[in-house]
Amino acid sequence: MFGNVHEECGVFAIYGSKSSNVAVQTYLGLYALQHRGQESCGIVVNDDGVFSYRRDLGLVHEVFNKDTLAALGDGNIAVGHVRYSTTGNSNRSNAQPLVVRHVKGPMAIAHNGNLVNARELREEYELKGAIFHTTNDTEVISYVITEQRLVSPSIEDAVLNAMSKIKGAYSIVVMSPKKLIAARDPVGFRPLSLGKLDDGSYIISSETCAFDSIGAEFVRDIEPGELIVIDENGVRSDRRHCGEHEHKMCVFEYVYFARPDSVIEGVSVHNARLKAGEFLWKEHPVDADVVVGVPDSGLDAALGFSRASGIPYGVGFIKNRYIGRTFIQPSQAERTNSVKIKLNAISSTVKDKKVVMIDDSMVRGTTSGRVVKLLRDAGAKEVHVRFACPQFIAPCFFGTDIDSKENLIACKMTLPEICEHIGADSLGFLSVENVQKLAENPHCGFCVGCFTEEYPIPVPKEMPKDKFEFKIGGKK
């Protein structure tokens, strides 16, 4: 649900040839991953060890055009990133990929996830004299890799050694002058996949939908703890960190983050959301005339609810396609203003009817009330609200922007109070038990810590988004 949960980031990389047009391929891949981050983006192109890059605040089509892509040159390796700030505020210096130049040669790195020990690592390196130019976790990771590179025989060994030191969620791509490396944390919180083009180019992407956008073939998911190296000799894998933890991917990838046309851990995201709607009907049936979904991530669950219940599915909202995902706006005031122009209810669908409104989630409850009011103003007789995941009762430490309990409506109100607060006639959330059953026969288990306060690995007591941003005197 826009207005609620902040997005992840998206990484994309390609190892091809100078005729592969890697800059344009990366641009198209980032376009497909735009839903994962709309604050900033960037591309780094490697031409025989010379790195050219552009990164800035804005959407992919705002940062790049024909001329800026041409200026990146005709290299054979490229790394790209779209970002929403889970750690570090929105500013140009935090845009990725980061480019690091050191005695062993240049390195570019892009990262999706969040470290639970980033603060400790940063303090360790600052005490050694390190100077940080950003306030994100990715620069911390780059320092760990760079330190390990000085004592390791190769860049892949440096990354492998760094994986023993960094803790938390990370799906990363690292580019050296001659190699492309991808690595996924041993828990496998965030998705990461390997693909291949007909010309022999290899692709790394956060989601498979990016493969489809450039005509690439999905090869396989990168395993939790696995490191992939792509160079002139092809692809090789190192699994020495595999099996260190039980695989627990963030279940919210299926509920909200991923695009419906992606396949994650062997399961269609679209089908998982249909199943969420089916479970919602079984758990929270209601007598109604029409089922509507809130665009975009509530639509598939609404269709599943309709099919399971036999209640007709209707198009209840028109979305202004020229506005990005509203919740990406960093301040509450900006989110509020965006909601007013993003959606409009279709009166002919809901007028004088008992409506079931399906959405993916509720965090603060502010936006849900406004959407319910849209249906009321369009003539809906009753509005029954259903959410395709459980209530958020705890922070996320692995990349989802839920950093404290104080703004979570479920920690402040009972279910009847929330129902009254948003102006609904009834309210229902998917159970924790069934949210873990959304994916049929997945290759993984799921992290549901934000719903249960039980996490796959130890977590700090608190970890605010702006943990590296303090004013003089220690005050934010």
Query: Tokens 């005509």, residue?
Result: 215
**Under 8 Å between Cβ of 142 and 148:** no
Distance CA 447, CA 437 (A): 12
Question: Could you tell me the sign of the dihedral formed by the alpha carbons of 207, 212, 214, 217, in that order?
Answer: positive
CA nearest to 96, candidates 66, 137, 154: 137
- Residues with Cβ within 8 Å of residue 413, at least 6 apart in sequence: 365, 421
**Under 8 Å between Cβ of 194 and 34:** no
Token digits of residue 379: 């003539």
CA nearest to 39, candidates 340, 395, 331: 331
**Under 8 Å between Cβ of 391 and 384:** no
| Residue 248 CA to its chain's centroid (Å) | 16
Maximum Cα–Cα distance across the chain: 71
**Under 8 Å between Cβ of 465 and 395:** no
Buried b (16+ CB within 10 A) or exposed e, 345-364: bbeebbeebbbbbbbbbbbb
Beta bridge partners of residue 100, listed in sequence order: 107
**Under 8 Å between Cβ of 43 and 80:** yes
SS3 label, residue 181: strand
Q: Which H or E run includes 221?
A: strand 217-221
**Continuous H helices in 231-288:** 252, 269-283
What is the 3-state composition of the chain as percent helix, strand, coil, each rounded to the nearest 5?
30, 25, 45
CA distances from 283 to 80, 174, 253, 307, 432 (A): 42, 45, 22, 15, 12
Distance CA 394, CA 383 (A): 28
**Residues forming the active site:** 9
Q: Which H or E run includes 57?
A: strand 50-57
- Residues with Cβ within 8 Å of residue 255, at least 6 apart in sequence: 272, 273, 276, 297, 360, 361, 388, 389, 435, 438
Sequence letter at residue 474: G
